[in-house]
Chain A
Amino acid sequence: GNSVTQMEGPVTLSEEAFLTINCTYTATGYPSLFWYVQYPGEGLQLLLKATKADDKGSNKGFEATYRKETTSFHLEKGSVQVSDSAVYFCALSANQAGTALIFGKGTTLSVSS
């Protein structure tokens, strides 16, 4: 079945450091891939997405490229800020009507000044 594997956290960085959160997936067909973010005390928000191989999703300085050959969708940011401290979830959708998202376990990012 379909599944998502994320790197274990927590990830602790200093402000302006480079961030990578690894995400790999297992899926049949051609899923869409997503990164969601959950800030402390808030709901889940879509951060970025990619719907086909080699697509790059980007938002708020974050980027992730859909790599079909390595079945990966790693999240990167060149210079993190304290306000980026949150839990990040990688997810996939099978792109069929009626299918829900499958989430990774989430990675907690803590950025200190």
Chain B
Amino acid sequence: SAVISQKPSRDICQRGTSLTIQCQVDSQVTMMFWYRQQPGQSLTLIATANQGSEATYESGFVIDKFPISRPNLTFSTLTVSNMSPEDSSIYLCSVALQGGQGLPEQFFGPGTRLTVL
């Protein structure tokens, strides 16, 4: 398994500003994912961030809005840029590890609850 921490745990921001969310893992992992959970909704994948390569974004998400860094195998950041109230969500970091039978398992951080006014 993996222990994942995120900072900040929550924040309230003004529209037009940016917030960088940090994700720290207690072991080296190749695959990391960033998800968004809008109020009352399910989790939606924003991007996949593998160390040593550019992040891969899902449809509807772009690098200018959600730039991601992956400087090493235990750390990643997601920035929410030029925020609007529609960006109010919980942002979750996730890592994939090799589980039983050689199949990948995902573990999630506690999430960052963002409110944009």
Contacts and interface: CB of A to CB of B under 8 A. Distances in A.
Nearest to B35: A100
Contacts of A105: 41-42
Task: Classify the interface of chain B: helix, strand, loop or mixed.
Answer: strand
B104 A97 contact: yes
A99 B41 CA distance: 21
Interface residues of A, number: 21
Interface in A1-55: 32, 36, 42-46, 49, 51
Contacts of A44: 43, 92, 108, 111
Instruction: For chain B, give the interface size range.
Output: 20 to 34
A51 B43 CA distance: 21
Interface of A: 32, 36, 42-46, 49, 51, 89, 93, 95, 97-101, 103-106
17 contacts: A32-B103, A42-B110, A43-B109, A43-B110, A43-B111, A44-B43, A45-B108, A51-B103, A89-B43, A93-B103, A95-B103, A95-B104, A100-B35, A101-B94, A101-B106, A106-B41, A106-B42
